[in-house]
């Protein structure tokens, strides 16, 4: 299907994600993301927040948790200070590569962090964070192959909103990777695609 406009993308992402999200059962939620499971399920509307008595990040976060975990928690816990999570490095990537055991692990975490920070920039109305995400996105276009690391479509909206052929190609690859195994996304993949559609829609409303 040709997706020549952002509206086309919104429709396609919702079409791809809707059956998977509609089919999920009401049992315990396991997204296979370790310490990210809880904040992701809350931030991506995979649980009914009205049934959650307390929404608060663990203090401190688990020692094994990278900055991306704190960023996702910040989407549902306004008490979290975002700045310490994105202080280093100041050029290139958002997260330090040497914190992660392999480039595949780092890229997954990096794109996860980009996804969360873009959403935070919108929620907290922080233009500085949005510009930071755009700078990091451009660095990824020049330095990191999207087919090199992750089957999770993190930050797909960040690339689509870059409004260039390179950004669109990157997003296309992220979507292809998310569907490659079975022809449909995982539950987490579907939730990320639905969120990407929502974030694109919000950006169009703001423009």
**Torsion angles phi and psi, residue 62, rounded to 5:** -55, 145
What local confidence, expressed as pLDDT, does residue 21 receive? 95
pLDDT top residue among 117 and 60? 117
Q: Do the Cβ atoms of 153 and 192 come closer than 8 Å? A: yes
∠ CA 96-110-33, rounded to 5°: 115
Lowest mean pLDDT among 103-107, 156-160, 166-170: 103-107
What local confidence, expressed as pLDDT, does residue 144 receive? 87
Rounded to an integer, the average pLDDT of 157-173 is 94
What local confidence, expressed as pLDDT, does residue 53 receive? 66
Q: pLDDT for 106-143, tens place per residue?
A: 999 999 999 999 999 999 999 999 999 999 999 999 99
Query: What is the token pair recorded at 139?
Result: 């660095």
Rounded to an integer, the average pLDDT of 43-50 is 84
Band of residue 29 on the pLDDT scale cut at 50, 70, 90: confident
Distance CA 80, CA 68 (A): 12
What local confidence, expressed as pLDDT, does residue 158 receive? 98
What local confidence, expressed as pLDDT, does residue 90 receive? 63
Q: Do the Cβ atoms of 49 and 55 come closer than 8 Å? A: yes
∠ CA 83-86-90, rounded to 5°: 115
pTM of the model: 0.93
Residue 147 DSSP symbol: G
**Torsion angles phi and psi, residue 185, rounded to 5:** -75, 160
Please identify which residue in the block is written with the tokens 């510009």.
131
**What number of H helices and E strands is found in the chain?**
8, 0
Render the burial of 3-32: b for 16+ CB within 10 Å, e for the rest: beebeebbebbbebbeebbeeeeeeeeebe
Band of residue 165 on the pLDDT scale cut at 50, 70, 90: very high
The alpha carbons of the chain give a radius of gyration, in whole angstroms, of 16
What local confidence, expressed as pLDDT, does residue 183 receive? 95
Band of residue 1 on the pLDDT scale cut at 50, 70, 90: very low
């Amino acid at each position: 299907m040709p997706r020549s406009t952002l509206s086309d993308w919104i429709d396609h992402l919702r079409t791809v994600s809707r059956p998977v999200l509609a089919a999920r059962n009401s049992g315990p939620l396991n997204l296979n993301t370790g310490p990210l499971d809880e904040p992701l399920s809350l931030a991506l509307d995979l649980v009914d927040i009205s049934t959650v008595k307390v929404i608060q990040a663990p203090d401190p976060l688990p020692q094994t948790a990278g900055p991306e975990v704190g960023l996702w928690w910040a989407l549902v816990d306004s008490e979290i200070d975002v700045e310490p999570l994105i202080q280093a490095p100041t050029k290139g990537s958002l997260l330090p590569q040497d914190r992660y055991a392999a480039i595949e692990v780092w890229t997954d975490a990096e794109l996860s962090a980009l996804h969360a920070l873009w959403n935070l920039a919108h929620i907290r109305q922080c233009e500085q964070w949005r510009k930071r995400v755009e700078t990091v996105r451009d660095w990824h276009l020049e330095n990191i192959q999207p087919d090199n690391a992750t089957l999770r479509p993190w930050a797909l909206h960040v690339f689509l909103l870059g409004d260039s052929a390179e950004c669109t190609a990157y997003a296309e690859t992220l979507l292809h990777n998310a569907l490659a195994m079975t022809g449909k996304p995982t539950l987490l993949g579907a939730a990320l695609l639905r969120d990407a559609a929502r974030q694109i829609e919000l950006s169009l409303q703001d423009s």
